[in-house]
Amino acid sequence: MFFNAAIGKTGSELSSYNTRDDGGLSPAIAVIVPVLNEAVALPELLMMLRSLPVDEVVLVDGGSQDATVELLQRSGFVWLVAAGGRAGQMNAGAARCRSDTLLFLHADTCISSSNIAHLRTTLADVGIQSGRFDLQLSGNRWQFRLISTMINLRSRLTKVASGDQALFVRRSLFVRLGGFPDLPLMEDIALSRRLKRIGGVVCLRDRVITSSRRWSQGGVVRTILLMWALRLGFYAGVPSHRLAGWYRQVR
């Protein structure tokens, strides 16, 4: 039997494994969510997190200027404030957890109880060290369906995932690697490439739903070109702070 143990409980009170109803052990799962100025979307996010059969939830604010902190204070969840961008937020959240598996969830990505159930089954294989879910962009536009398909295919072929795909990793391996690299952008790609070299990466076909607002607001073609430019620049060795500057200018 699993339950949401995150509310009012810190990582030090939790075990890395849970006992299943059949007597076997199942890895405990922690969900870490970085947030920044998400007051509008936060109530729905908190409702979703309360429904998940996970063992820990930690939300990490990156210095919000809206009502995000007030909502976190009333949420009942474990939360903290961390500087240094999303990488620093996720590393700080991970440091508060004791679960065997860390799942990093963006604030605009929805994950379901069935996703978590499949993840638990997957983690029963001790050879699995990390992985991600398939992505589905919200909305009914055919362009979003095509983009989702191409992202999933690229990720499955390369074993490199983006943060929108709900990256998960064994805590012991995450600690050994030093967490997310201290980068202002592309920290998810950088960690994913390191995990690929170690092996044991799984690409789950279960879909998490990520908001298409970035694509809608920036324009589909313009956003695709930006994403490719950032990725190619990263692979070519362009400094991360310069890539972040490109991203801010185009946005």
Considering its fold, how many domains does the chain have in total? Answer: 1
Answer yes or no: is pLDDT of 114 > 60: yes
- Provide the pLDDT for residue 16: 65
DSSP 8-state secondary structure symbol assigned to residue 184 = S
**Within-domain flag for 248:** no
Answer yes or no: is pLDDT of 249 > 70: no
Look up the CATH number of the domain holding residue 159. Answer: 3.90.550.10
Q: Higher-confidence residue: 50 or 227? A: 50
How far apart are the C-alpha atoms of 186 and 184, rounded to whole Å?
A: 7
Q: Higher-confidence residue: 138 or 215? A: 138
Average pLDDT over residues 222-228: 84
**pLDDT category, 5, cuts 50, 70, 90?**
very low
Q: Residue by residue, what is the 3-state secondary structure of 50-119?
A: HHCCCCEEEEEECCCCCCHHHHHHHHCCEEEECCCHHHHHHHHHHHCCCCCEEEECCCCEECCHHHHHHH
**pLDDT category, 230, cuts 50, 70, 90?**
confident
Answer yes or no: is pLDDT of 14 > 70: no
**Within-domain flag for 149:** yes
How far are the Cα atoms of 52, 102, 126, 131, 230 from residue 235, in angstroms, in the given order? 36, 26, 31, 21, 9
**Within-domain flag for 111:** yes
Average pLDDT over residues 184-200: 94
* Tens of pLDDT, residues 15-39: 565 544 444 457 899 999 999 999 9
**Within-domain flag for 232:** no
Q: What range defines the domain where residue 84 resides? A: 11-213
How far apart are the C-alpha atoms of 84 and 25, rounded to whole Å?
A: 36
**Within-domain flag for 4:** no
Mean pLDDT of the chain: 88
Of 57, 245, 98, 85, give the one whose Cα is nearest residue 181.
85
**Within-domain flag for 233:** no
**Within-domain flag for 175:** yes
